[in-house]
Amino acid sequence: MRIKHLSLLLLVVMLAGQLAALPKAPELLLSLALPGYSQIKSERNLGYVLLGAEAALIGSVYYFNSEEQLLKEASYSYALKYADLQPGEYDNAFFKNMGRYNSSGYDANGYNAAVREKALTLFPYDPESQQEYIEQYGYNEEQAWYWQSQSHKSRYNKYRNDALDMKSYSKLAGGVLLLNHVINVIDYAIGRKHQATQLSVQLKGSTPRLVLSHSF
């Protein structure tokens, strides 16, 4: 995934270098900032597609981010009510552990019980090191929780999983938003030199592809 991002960034940089040599710099900058501007000005329908996609994608990113936060807040409120969690500041690892273990304690499927088991495995003949490990990685009373039932824990996990889905959708929409700008930049570059050259996006399965065509 990182290689794809670097390749895309390199493509944008190379195109920007070529576009910098083109005339009408203000028009270029406006076109880069607002996908579809130059195409609409040239009376090409692609411009309305790019502009509409830009608005829809920005709205989607905002929507998915908002939904992610709402679901996280819902999962936190649910844990306060059904796992006897004390209000406070907790990191993401803590909330993940809440979804995995029935409690923070030493009972069956408790988080601290798992920490103790690992301490015994790491330091089988060293009680002092075992205790240090438990104190370092275990949860104290202020971080305690205990799910009232498995169904409550499952409902909590659904909130968390739905929030992760919203985060993934937001990243996907952001990636497509960047792709929309790349399409706009490429189309602007080739459109200045070859009016017969067309740019489109096609799907092969679930993978988007940029397609260049030229009529001679």
Q: How confident is the chain (216 residues) per 10-residue block, as mean pLDDT? A: 51 49 59 73 76 85 95 97 95 96 94 96 94 95 96 97 95 86 75 52 51 50
The answer to whether the CB of 152 falls within 8 A of the CB of 103 is no
Q: What is the pLDDT of residue 198?
A: 53
Q: What is the pLDDT of residue 214?
A: 46
Q: What is the pLDDT of residue 31?
A: 67
121, part of any domain: no
158, part of any domain: yes
Q: What is the pLDDT of residue 165?
A: 95
User: How many Cβ atoms from other residues are within 10 Å of residue 51's Cβ?
Assistant: 18
Q: What is the pLDDT of residue 185?
A: 75
Q: What is the pLDDT of residue 50?
A: 78
212: tokens are: 């260049």
Number of H helices and E strands in the chain, helices first, is 8, 2
| Model confidence pTM above 0.75 | no
Distance CA 60, CA 66 (A): 10
Distance CA 113, CA 171 (A): 37
200, part of any domain: yes
Residue 181: partners with Cβ closer than 8 Å, 6 or more residues away: 12, 32, 35
124, part of any domain: no
Q: What is the pLDDT of residue 127?
A: 93
Distance CA 104, CA 146 (A): 7
Q: What is the pLDDT of residue 213?
A: 54
The region that residue 105 occupies, defined by phi over 0 for left and psi between -120 and 50 for alpha, beta otherwise, is beta
Number of compact structural domains in the chain: 1
120, part of any domain: no
Distance CA 136, CA 207 (A): 46
Structural domain range at position 149: 2-104+139-214
